[in-house]
Structure 1
Amino acid sequence: MSAKASPTKKKSIIIDCDPGVDDTLAILFALGSPELDVKAITTVCGNVPLEVCTQNALKILELAGRTDIPVHAGCDSPMIGEPIFGKFHGAGGLGKLVLPDPVTQPSPQHAVGKMAELLRAAKTNNEKLTICTLGPMTNLALLIKLHPELLSSIECVVSMGGAYRIAGNRTLTSEFNMLADPHAARIVYSAGLDYVALPLDATHQAMTSPERVSWFKGGEAGSPLAATYELLSGWSRNDPRRYGSDGGPMHDPLVTVYLVAPHLFQTELAKVFVECDSQLCYGQTVADWYGQTGEKADAQIVQKVNADGVFSIMSERIRSLSQAG
């Protein structure tokens, strides 16, 4: 008698986010991927104010039929200074997409407390969690400061953020998530964890061309697929001089796609530093590609993306999520 193959163990993740058009797609992809077990959604001030982010997270889970996943609101401002907000998501955070007001409520526990609770449980069970950051790193930085004893239960931090070999998207040098709370990012990248970074270098390769957007057609009204098509259809930057093509860059979905299909990405190992002092370069991420600082390289920085592969698997998984509902 041959032994039965054991089922592949799901990867347990926390999605820390600021929904956000592209956060929405990252979450929907994760929920449509059987390889991933989303333990919680935590929100942070970023693209829109914290309260709006949290309401959007609840709306997304209701859209996907996954109200079993708790939503925990986190930090409503950066560690130092005043919040800045995104420019491309609209006042409600979801572009022109209108979703019903959520029926469910966020959990009363603070996001950082929930992160700690889940990591503590993982430690007890000799397991690990992957933390996905789709917005400013404020919540994760606070977790690191308050609960350093739990960091050994973090398998990896997979983040959308930074700009290395290309210009910033909010200032000359800085990507929005890093600029919104560089002090938090510096704490995170100094904690000695394992990191995967998906910077603008990668996300600007994943453009929403008309052909790729068409792959998301056909969803029934009110389905995740129909919502995704509407979001993608309105995401064009109309700036081919900058991006090399029509459409707009897909940022946050690359994080959750990476977890499922890392073969679609090529990375380079480096140590990451975050600038918090220079006025001109505030929020800039700097990579030590060649070991010049002598510090340990611990971040896999994505530099190449198979964009057609990314959009193909996104459409497959979000379509599957829609059919399951």
Structure 2
Amino acid sequence: MAALEDPETFARAKRILIMGGAVRVSGNQTPRAEFNIYADPDAAAVLLDLTKASRASTALGQMDISLVSLDVTSKHTLTQETWRKFSYDLVSKGKTFEKMVELTGTAIFGCHDPLTIYTLLESKTVEWETGLDIRVETDGKWTRGETVFDSRGVVKLTPGQKAIVRDNGGWFSGEQKNNVSILRDSHADGDAFGLKLLEGIFL
């Protein structure tokens, strides 16, 4: 990983945007894990760990990392009907969409990666939720790759405050807390997103 091999160069990145995670929704690879995080949860855990305030004094510093997760991407869809409208006369061989339907059993797909790019192109209109303590499960038999978010509503301690007894995992600790942003709202029409995407490509 670049962060471990060459932290000085990696630290020059102003922000890291990741299409990945399922924070308050179910996963798409397992019941708890989204595909990209599931593919390498150890690497994802290392990256999110770089958002801790305690990292500010290290060579990398505290990194600004944002997730474009399934919580929002799955609401921005491309239907088979829309796909056929634009691709019917262009595709002479192969049926990509039909193959995807065959493999997944669904005829509506989330525009996960396109929405991630959209957040950069429309940075002034999208809305982010910041400062979330999100961590990645790396060992669980059934939960490996899960993006774990503490939804108990507990107040986090600030760095330097006395630790709470029986704080399993350091979830109350301000020093151990990750500070990750996730996309809250694209303010785009999710149902029409696939149509807008293909119009931008073909028209």
Instruction: Give the aligned partner of residue 179 of structure 1.
Output: 38
1:144–1:231 CA distance, 2 compared to 1 (3 A): same
- CA pair 208-155 structure 1, distance change in 2 beyond 3 A: same
State the partner residue of 1:99.
none
> Do the aligned partners of 1:267 and 1:300 also contact (CA within 8 Å) in 2?
yes
Change (3 A) 1:221 1:298: same
- Asked if 1:260 is matched to 2:126, the reply is no
Matched ranges for 1:70-149 at <5 A:
142-149=1-8
After superposition, give the CA deviation of every residue in 1:49-96 in whole Å (9 maximum; x if it has no partner). Answer: xxxxxxxxxxxxxxxxxxxxxxxxxxxxxxxxxxxxxxxxxxxxxxxx
CA contact (8 A) 1:164 1:201 kept: yes
Say which structure, 1 or 2, has more relative contact order (CA 8 Å, 6+ apart): 2
**Residue 247 in structure 1 maps to residue 128 in structure 2:** no
Partners of 2:199 and 2:121 in 1: how far apart? 13
**Does the C-alpha gap of structure 1 residues 261 and 284 become closer, same or farther in structure 2, counting only changes over 3 Å?**
same
1:302 aligns with 2:172: no
Aligned match for 1:188, one of 47, 50, 54: 47
SS at match of 1:153: coil
Q: What is the aligned length?
A: 168
1:283 equivalent among 145, 165, 174: 145
> What residue is the counterpart of 1:98 in the other structure?
none
Match of 1:39 in 2: none
Return 5+ residue gaps in structure 1 as ranges.
Answer: 1-141, 240-245, 321-325
2-side partners of 1:238 and 1:221: how far apart? 22
Decide whether the 8 Å contact of 2:134 with 2:148 is kept in 1: yes
**Correspondences of 1:6-85 after superposition (within 5 Å):** none
Q: CA deviation at 1:205?
A: 0.9
Q: How much does 1:202 deviate?
A: 1.8
Residue identity in the other structure for 2:198: S
* Structure 1: distance between partners of 2:121 and 2:114: 11
**1:187, distance to aligned residue in structure 2 (A):** 0.7
Give me the TM-score of the superposition, normalised by structure 2.
Answer: 0.67
Find the counterpart in structure 2 of residue 319 from structure 1: 202
For residue 275 of structure 1, report the CA deviation from its aligned partner.
0.9
Counterparts of 2:140 and 2:98, CA distance in 1? 38
The CA deviation at 1:213 is 2.6
Q: Which runs of 5+ in 2 are unaligned?
A: 52-62, 157-170
Does the Cα contact within 8 Å between 1:264 and 1:309 map onto a contact in 2?
Answer: no
Distance 2:178 2:82 in 1: 35
Corresponding residue for 2:134?
A: 272
2:73 partner amino acid: T
Tell me by how many angstroms 1:184 deviates. 0.6
Are 1:209 and 2:68 an aligned pair? no
1:160 is the counterpart of 2:43: no
Aligned-pair CA distance for 1:177? 1.4
Give yes or no for contact 2:72–2:184 (8 Å, CA) kept in 1: yes
User: Aligned partners of 1:311 and 1:215: how far apart in 2?
Assistant: 11
SS of corresponding position for 1:300? strand
% identity of equivalent residues = 26
Q: TM-score, normalised by structure 1?
A: 0.44
Q: For residues 271-302 of structure 1, what are the alpha-carbon distances to aligned partners after superposition, in whole Å with 9 as ceiling and x for unaligned?
A: 32011122222111112465643355632212
Change (3 A) 1:219 1:300: farther
Deviation at 1:143, TM superposition (A): 0.2
1:189-213 deviation per Cα after TM superposition (whole angstroms, max 9, x unaligned) = 1123212212221222122224543
8 Å CA contact retained: 2:78, 2:193: no
User: What is the match of residue 70 of structure 2?
Assistant: 200
